[in-house]
Structure 1
Amino acid sequence: MDNQLVNILLVDDREENLLALEAVLTSPNYHLKKALSGEEALKWVLREEFAVIIMDVQMPGMNGFETAKMIRQRDKTKDVPIIFVTALSQTDENVMQGYSVGAIDYIIKPFNPSILKSKVNGFVSLFLNQKKVEEQAKIIAIRTRELEDANRTLKSNEAMLEALVKERTNELTNTNKMLLESEEKYRRLVEESPEAIILTRENSDVPFFINETGVKLLKASSKEDVQNRSLFQFIHPDDHKKVRETLAKNRDGLHTYEHRLICLNGDIIHVEVKSIPFDYKGNSCLHILVRDITELKHSREFMQQTEKLTVVGELAAGIAHEIRNPLTSLKGFTQLLGDRIDSNQDYMDIMITEIERINTIVSELLLLAKPRRMDFHEINIAMVLKNIITLMEAQANLYGVTLKCEYCDDLPEFIIHGEENKLKQVFINILKNAIEAMEQGGDILISAQPIGNEIEITFIDSGCGIPPELLSKVGQPFFTTKEKGTGLGLMVCHSIIESHQGTMVIDSVRGKGTTVSIKLPLYQTQLKTIEYSS
């Protein structure tokens, strides 16, 4: 939870009850406001914004139900979580009346302090995460407007340039008597054009003219570097068929299409091409206008990505709300069972730990909207790996998979600076994917070794692998090769590794398996130890 001060409203007509609630909920992150009546509570909600309201049902004057109903009638406060606290019996009638006026929960006095505190923590976390989602939405909206404005400007310039080219081309076609003068005008036009212009004869793919803009676009040093080559030497091999088919079908009129070019320095760029047929010195030729749209395509992809992240952020907030409510009850009752003499404390500890891990995973969904600041500590990465392997061996055995480690028990203590639970989540996710990909069983090889100032952790499986055309999409939201997957797991993994200043690379060969390589920077103290030992 971020160290952000949030308001919590405590409403009870008895001062001692307010003091009891204050003692339970006192926290440096909470600003507790107290009201002795429903009327005073309404005054508070008009002045302040609250993450949660804890309200007594039975109060003189305006009771809790009436106060909650009025709070719900105001747009700015209609979604504030309200927890009713009552000393009366929890009859179905009272409970239904509480929920009918907008209560989120109904607690009987005397209440369990741990349960109440856990519930309040959950609502506060949802409140803070919702604020983050709202801030991210505003940023995305501003960025979207900027991109739309830029796109409109580009389209306007494109239309102006297209109109200019058509005008000049028609001028050249209709003024054969002044061929020399028209040719000079045309040459000046294309030489000074901000777009790349290439001229070819109708049945040839070798240009006889290219302007300086085209030379710069293809990263050539002179026009001769381009004019003695076939244009298909610059067109990406995967686009040859599409370009040939387009040229064959569209011999007449203005035509627009997109493909990739390979520059002389090896760079690959995306271009938009317009081909215009015209007559030059009695020969049928093509006037080819080429515009670099690499940045525009990246902008479009960014807009699509931000739209996906907006949806993911909204989905994450909803999922967190729906899952954390039952988790609060599960944790509370598990703690109560753990206090019994006849309970197995080891089992209870495991259950509490696993519930906390579920809650942590739910929190990771909210990173898709906006990552929170992590609490980094020194971590022995070798010990983390050993614990994860021990944890995953049972699941691996069910699939007939064996986990093998290239390092032995006396592996040096490689120390990194990070958050242990987040790294565990990454390793578990990778191992689960590897195990599920090996339907016929086999071995998963795990290794860890220092490379310079980094520690490289590698997971190698012999599963079905990933087709090359899908490998580049792995890690994008909602893209998955699993029948029932969501595509969010690897996206969260990438986010966690990036937050640790590391990298994660996935390499795969269809039918042979997949290799996931993670590099994390070693902690500064660790680096000194390695230097001294060497």
Structure 2
Amino acid sequence: MKNQTVNILLVDDREENLIALEAVLSAKNYNLIKAYSGEEALKYVLKEEFAVIIMDVQMPGINGFETAKMIRKRKKTQNVPIIFITALSQTVENILHGYSVGAIDYIIKPFDALILTYKVDGLVAMYLNKKKVEEQAKTIAKYTNELAEAYRALQINEEKLEALVKERTNELSLTNEKLLREINEKEAAMLKLEESEEKYRQLTEESPMAILVKKDHCDTYSFINQTGVQLFKANSKEDVLKQPIKKLIHPGDYERIEKLKEEREKGQFTLEARLVCMNGEVIDAEVKSIPLIYKGEQALHLMIRDITELKRSREFMQQSEKLTVVGELAAGIAHEIRNPLTSLKGFTQLLGDQMDCNHEYMDIMITEIERINTIVGELLLLAKPSKLEFKQINLGDILENIITLMNAQANLYGVKIKLESSQSLSDRYIFGIEDKIKQVFINLVKNAIESMEDGGEVIIQVMEGEKYFEIKFIDGGCGIPREILSKLGQPFFTTKDRGTGLGLMVCYSIIESHHGTMLIDSACGQGTTVSVSLPLFCTETVIY
């Protein structure tokens, strides 16, 4: 499905704008359809299915806002992502109006072609993932029906066999000829039973979902198909079947699952849970349960699907949308502050030159004005990446400097900072901006120290992959409740009494601008692990 051609609708009343959009997106596997008005766009929407709609706001006839409203009113197209691109409607009111009528993004011309390409690629990837999930759902429904039919046939044959055995037991006094006939009938019934069991086994083994069977009052699984072996990253079925079920379920979810099973009648339920693979990796999974009889005993037929990538994709899009909105607001505020700040600085310097006053006070005022200007510049970082100078940075030097800098604060809390690496970091380099990377690392170490009020140890682990360094910041603090873990990094959300809620958001923004990732894993009473991945330095590395 990766190479599937998808439709993208380009709507603009100016031919040159449509040609520019075609030039940006034509290199992809996209079918670009052009519409020169809102009316023409609505006609295409009725006939075709689109992954993304890119639309101008100011158009003769029906404008972009009205066209978006009409598209959203139609059930079939109400979830199609719409991106507004305009050079005229740049006011905050128009931007907010664009989001209110259903736009997923609002881009001002001239736009950055690379950013637009990344956004469209992300939306197309979500569209293809959705199509893939729908196809899988149809396949699962088909296999489920076939399994149900096989199961019903199995039960019918078992009942026939049981009735036949009882009937023949009461007729043991009949002649040898009649007894032989009865034996033949029993063998035929057994053959049908074996055929049904074989059909059930084949359907189970060939299922695209992981299939497991758990007998009642048993703490291990009784059956697993090959897809399940791959899901748990095991070498063989025996590796999974000999493991206690409790070890294959994340400790934070085990009690919840057991409680849910007790509440649901007959063991039939659907839920999401974290599973622990044989190599220790934790994955998110969707679990469906159906009761059945397995080898004469009550059991549960479990169907499991890995949804880790799907959840990460949703969280990434949500985080990107929030950062975009906050960034635009921050940029607007910073712009309005800088205008009067420039005048204030100029008049202060003028007064210092023309008046006989305390120059020490004037210097302090000018210094503080410069500090305000620096803070405003930090706010502008949230709006869009600056064209900063990326260069080769020694990872070992940065971490040593951070540990030296933070040791004083760590000592106050009774905390030790420990650096662990499988090899020397003296000649290991990343590509980025040293001050920004230090800003992220200091923030993470500071958070780790402050989480351990009774002292402890902060471990910084460094692992080198083929293309990325993974730096883990591990603390033994109180941990973070699962229900608020997904909120970390959101604008103005903080768990600290005096926090602003901007620290982690800026960290996410910096790491993203370095083409890296930052993931947080935590549970109450188990500490927190923050994993930062950054690309290795190489001569071909280029970051925009």
TM-score (norm 1): 0.53
State whether residues 274 and 288 of structure 1, in contact with CA within 8 Å, keep that contact through their aligned partners in structure 2: yes
Q: What residue number does 2:151 align with?
A: 169
Note the C-alpha offset of 1:322: 2.5
* Mapped partners of 1:331, 1:388: distance in 2: 35
In the TM superposition, what is the alpha-carbon distance from 1:314 to its structure 2 partner? 2.0
The SS at the match of 2:266 is coil
What does residue 211 of structure 2 align with? 197
Deviation at 1:467, TM superposition (A): 4.2
1:376 to 385, 390, 414: 390
Indicate yes or no: 2:327 matched with 1:316.
yes
* Alpha-carbon distance in 2 for matches of 1:503, 1:276: 41
Write out aligned runs for 1:6-405 (5 A).
Answer: 78-79=88-89, 137-175=119-157, 176-177=159-160, 178-193=189-204, 194-195=206-207, 196-225=210-239, 230-250=244-264, 252=266, 254-269=268-283, 270-278=285-293, 280=295, 283-291=296-304, 293-294=305-306, 296-339=307-350, 340-341=352-353, 342=355, 346-347=363-364, 349-367=366-384, 371-376=385-390
Please list the CA deviations of residues 311-345 of structure 1 after superposition, one character each: whole Å capped at 9, or x if unmatched: 32023112211231122221233123224514666
Per the TM alignment, residue 357 of structure 1 is displaced from its structure 2 partner at its CA by 1.4
Cα distance in 1 between the residues matched to 2:150 and 2:330: 60
**Does the aligned pair in 2 maintain the 1:388–1:424 contact within 8 Å?**
yes
Q: Structure 1 residues 198 and 461, CA, compared in 2 at 3 Å: closer, same or farther?
A: closer
CA distance in 1 between partners of 2:217 and 2:374 (Å): 67
Aligned counterparts of 1:287 and 1:226: Cα–Cα separation in 2: 17
Aligned-pair RMSD on alpha carbons?
6.0
Shift of 1:388: 11
Q: Distance in 1 between matches of 2:525 and 2:90?
A: 53
State how far apart, in whole Å, the 2-side matches of 1:511 and 1:232 are.
19
The equivalent residue for 2:51 is none
In percent, how many aligned pairs have the same letter? 30
Q: Displacement of 1:185 after TM fit?
A: 2.5
Kept in 1, the 8 Å contact 2:126–2:313? The answer is: no
The one-letter code matched in structure 2 to 1:275 is I
Distance in 2 (CA, whole Å) between partners of 1:459 and 1:336 is 47
Q: Which one scores higher on RCO, CA 8 angstroms, separation ≥ 6?
A: 1
Contact persistence 1:467–1:509 (CA under 8 A): yes
CA distance in 1: counterparts of 2:253 and 2:522, whole angstroms? 24
Partner of 2:168: none
1:491 aligns with 2:491: no
Match of 2:336, SS?
helix
Residues 396-444 of structure 1: per-residue CA shift (max 9 Å, x gap): 9xxx999x999xxxxx9x999754663575477568868987999x9x9
Count, aligned residues: 390
Question: How big is each residue's C-alpha offset from its partner over 1:13-43, in whole Å with a ceiling of 9 and x where there is no partner?
Answer: xxxxxxxxxxxxxxxxxxxxxxxxxxxxxxx
Give the distance between the partners of 2:519 and 2:112, measured in 1 at CA: 32
CA deviation map 1:269-321 (0-9, x unaligned): 435232222375xx343251332x22x24313321331232132023112211
Aligned letter for 1:163?
A: N
Q: Quote the Cα distance in structure 2 between the aligned partners of 1:192 and 1:261.
A: 24
1:482 maps to what in 2? Answer: 496
1:208-260 Cα deviation digits (max 9, x unpaired): 54444444444455555555665445444444434444444446374334444
Contact residue 190 and residue 211 of structure 1 kept, 8 A: no
Partner SS for 1:181: helix
C-alpha distance in 2 between matches for 1:242 and 1:511: 17
Q: Report SS of the residue matched to 2:299.
A: strand
Quick one: distance in 2 between partners of 1:427 and 1:201? 49
Deviation at 1:161, TM superposition (A): 1.8
TM-score by length of 2: 0.52
Summarize deviations over 1:87-124 as a string: whole Å, max 9, x none: xxxxxxxxxxxxxxxxxxxxxxxxxxxxxxxxxxxxxx
Residue 278 of structure 1 aligns with an amino acid whose one-letter code is: I
- Structure 1 window deviating more from structure 2 (423-432 vs 167-176): it is 423-432
Whole-angstrom CA distance in 1 between matches of 2:525 and 2:300: 47
CA distance in 2, matches of 1:212, 1:515: 32
* 1:258–1:182 distance in 2 versus 1, CA, 3 Å: farther
Secondary structure in 1 matching 2:301: strand
Max Rg structure: 1
Where structure 1 has 5 or more consecutive residues not aligned to the other structure, the ranges are 1-73, 82-124, 407-411, 525-534
For the residues of structure 1 that align with 2:241 and 2:396, how far apart are their CA atoms? 59
Which residue type is aligned with residue 328 of structure 2?
Answer: A
Structure 2 residues without counterparts, runs of 5 or longer: 1-62, 65-85, 92-106, 161-188, 419-425, 539-544
Whether the 8 Å contact between 2:478 and 2:526 is mirrored in structure 1 is yes
